[in-house]
Structure 1
Amino acid sequence: MTDRPRGGLPALCAAQIVSWGLLYYSLPVAVAPISEETGWSHTVITAALSAGLIVSALAGIRVGRLLDRQSPRAVMTTGSLVGVGAMLLVAWSPNLVMFFVAWVVAGFAQSAVLYPPAFAVITRWYGPRRVGPLTTVTLVGGLASTVFAPLVASLIDQLGWRMSYVVVAGILAVTTVPLHALFLNSRWTDASAARAEENPTATIRAVTRSRQFITLQITMATATFTLFAVTINIIPMFLERGMSYGTAAWALGLIGAGQVVGRLGYPQFARVTSARARTVVIFAAGAAGLWALALLPGPVWLLIVVAVLAGAVRGCHTLLQATAVSDRWGTQNFGTINGVFTAPMTFVGAFAPVAGPAVAGLLNGYPMMAVVMAVLLTGAAVVTSRT
């Protein structure tokens, strides 16, 4: 595509790993030290991140519109600058209210720099050849926690959490801001802009209000919620199965490896299946994995294998989400339509980590929680197969 600047994809990949690592994964790493110093509970601190993710879901709709009409350089550079300010605000927060405000501000930054806007830019750059570059950016982004969780932990050990967030802001300022400012389009070409303008609001609404779009939105959000709620809580689930803490922690790490495998295999899978068929297959495979995690008592090796397979499904689901709109409705006005499409997924993703333990508490155990999630995902697979 003529809109693609030299070095754009490597720059986006680098910006993604830093943005995810610092605007998302830094807080889970810092929860315990923040709680120890301030007296705020772990749940309340984590809720600040969830609040930011909700804001990100809502703001992402507007960001998608801006990406269709304005340059990605302006939108994503601004998002990076907002992220720098948010991290400085986290460091300064004198009380819990301001801490929440800081993460709400971070939510605006997330909406402009994480996967959905990057997917919109890559889809516009590469058009029909988008799956390979989308796979690349998600593979690199998937390393964010591996790279930055130990780094943030080390910073906190040496500097304390407040000064560490000042350093986090500095890292964002010297990496993501120039990457977005120097390697993204300053404007879309006239031809691209003209094509976007030829699609009036009524045309976009015809897509976003269609039965197919809304059904797919609901089923994709269901898959996001169920897969995340179970896999992110795999340690307490496996502890209930009698696994040691160390082994359960390894299982969680291997789920991340499974996501990488799933993403590596997705391009070939996409080449030999239709959009609906691969959606049904991924949902069905995810449901089967959740049923197995819910019902299998052991042995340990088998539970770990199933967990890795569930991770592979999650990896495929990320790319399924990235391509669902363009596969069905094309790439014109992709930013606007995809912003609307992904908002519910971002929203439920904010609640999934705490929803798992909450449901497990109501049903007296994580295996029963997994049963509920398996039922929901099975239903999503059935609905998708019939629409």
Structure 2
Amino acid sequence: MKDLTAPSYTAATASGTPTRPRAALPALCLTQITSWGILYYAFPVLNPQITAATGWSAAATTAAFSAALLVSALTGMRIGRVLDARGPRTVMTAGSVAGTAGLVIIATAPNLPLFTTGWLLTGLAMASTFYQPAFAALTRWWAPDHVKALTIVTLAGGLASTVFAPLTAQLASHFSWRHTYLILAAVLAAVTLPAHALALRAPWPSAPPQTAANADTSRTAVARSRPFLLLATALTLSAFAMYTVVVTLVPLLLDRGYTAAQAAWALGLGGAGQTLGRTLYATLARRTSPALRTAVLIGLGGAATAAFALVPGPYPLLAALSIAAGTVRGNLTLLQATAITDRWGTRHYGRLSGLLAAPTTTASALAPFAGTALAGPLGGYPHLFAALAVISSGAALIAWHTAPARETTRLPLIRRLTLPKHQR
């Protein structure tokens, strides 16, 4: 009888395409939905019940959650090195264990310091199970067709809130927040542990060899290069603006007289827009250079933010704007996933993507506090959105200069002409 637990692989092609584990892509789709849904999206659903039951302040519990995101940013750089050398199986399986343990600590914590400790461990799990290691796996295994695989897994990941936010709310209506987290911890372990341990066992392809053509793309050289530093700056500013918009859209609409249900629907429609945007990215990637599409997408995000600042209604127009903004956000997720390979190849993808993700993850962690804190001094949420639009515009200008010097020599003439003169 055939061993159903044995890994099944596709054969490597004569052209050198890496061996691909057939089970990896569906497994990563499933684990991204589960990991994001439980480790990230369950918290905002449960936090009101947590604060009501414990007496801890919402600021304190949210700070613990943000600390997890900061740990994820810092540890992602080290995890990237391991991914480059050994592949995703050990990292993501260990992340499943850490996430399960972290949730158990959170659920049973008798005081705020232990609650925070649980979130710090969960932050390590986030770095080990979220998009970064999944992207590293698919980029190495699926090259040169990795954009299609990345699109599929991000489409699945986009369903995390759709699946787990209502499921968490339903559980919380029947159980305490502690029992709800224990149930979710069991689900996380049952789904992600076997999937990561069994489906990611394919041989890890060797890194592309260093050649004369890419001799300037050593990890250190790239990380210290002007294009990389500008790219990190642009994506960090964009992430700060984007996540601040997400967390303050509901207050903006409430201040303009819309109901809580209307505001929630507008936010949810942004999630639908993200799914739409991710289906369009492959076409955009084929027709534009990396620097051009980075600048255009960040600029479009800024334009959508400015529209929210300037347009008070009617509601259908605001709903359409939310979908448009979500479409841009969906593209930006894939843009960051492919930013390294588009410019410097796959050789040091794990390490470089970890470096690139660290400041953007930090910015997303700070966004909830910064948005609320800045709205008052700036004169209200419309003025906050206007300021965020200015930040996005600056990021788009920076992104225009993120092409490595050699990139333009490979572009068709019509695409070279779209670049700044000094980059042609």
TM tier relative to shorter chain = over 0.9
Matches within 5 A, 1:240-255: 240-255=255-270
- How far residue 87 of structure 1 moved from its aligned partner, in angstroms, is 0.8
The residue type equivalent to 1:280 in the other structure is: A
The structure showing larger relative contact order (alpha-carbon pairs under 8 Å, at least 6 residues apart) is 1
Correspondent of 1:353 among 358, 368, 375 = 368
Structure 2 residue runs of 5 or longer lacking an equivalent are 1-16, 403-424
Aligned residues between the structures: 385
Q: Which residue of 2 aligns with 1:10?
A: 26
Q: Which residue of 2 aligns with 1:100?
A: 116
Distance 1:291 1:302 in 2: 14
Distance 1:60 1:203 in 2: 19
SS class of match (2:142): helix
Q: Does 1:331 align with 2:346?
A: yes
The residue type equivalent to 2:326 in the other structure is: G
Q: Which residue of 1 aligns with 2:302?
A: 287
SS class of match (1:298): coil
Distance 1:103 1:92 in 2: 12
Kept in 1: contact 2:208–2:347 (CA 8 A):
no
Q: Which residue of 1 aligns with 2:278?
A: 263
Matches within 5 A, 1:25-174: 25-174=41-190
Per-residue CA deviations over 1:38-83 (Å, capped at 9, x if unaligned) read 0011221111110000000000001110011113211110111111
Kept in 1: contact 2:19–2:202 (CA 8 A):
no
- How far residue 174 of structure 1 moved from its aligned partner, in angstroms, is 0.9
Structure of greater Rg: 2
- How far residue 368 of structure 1 moved from its aligned partner, in angstroms, is 0.5
Q: Scaled by the length of structure 1, what TM-score is found?
A: 0.96
Distance 2:48 2:248 in 1: 18
* CA distance 1:269–1:193, change in 2 (3 Å): closer
The residue type equivalent to 2:119 in the other structure is: W
Structure 1 residue runs of 5 or longer lacking an equivalent are none
Correspondent of 2:40 among 1, 19, 24 = 24
Distance 1:327 1:271 in 2: 11
The residue type equivalent to 1:103 in the other structure is: W
The residue type equivalent to 1:184 in the other structure is: L
**Larger fraction in helix:** 1
Kept in 2: contact 1:3–1:185 (CA 8 A):
no
- How far residue 151 of structure 1 moved from its aligned partner, in angstroms, is 1.2
Kept in 2: contact 1:294–1:370 (CA 8 A):
yes
Distance 2:203 2:68 in 1: 29
144-153 vs 12-21, greater mean Cα deviation: 144-153
Correspondent of 2:201 among 177, 182, 185 = 185
80-89 vs 235-244, greater mean Cα deviation: 235-244
Q: Which residue of 2 aligns with 1:302?
A: 317
What stretches of structure 1 move > 6 A for 4+ residues in a row?
198-202
Kept in 2: contact 1:71–1:186 (CA 8 A):
no
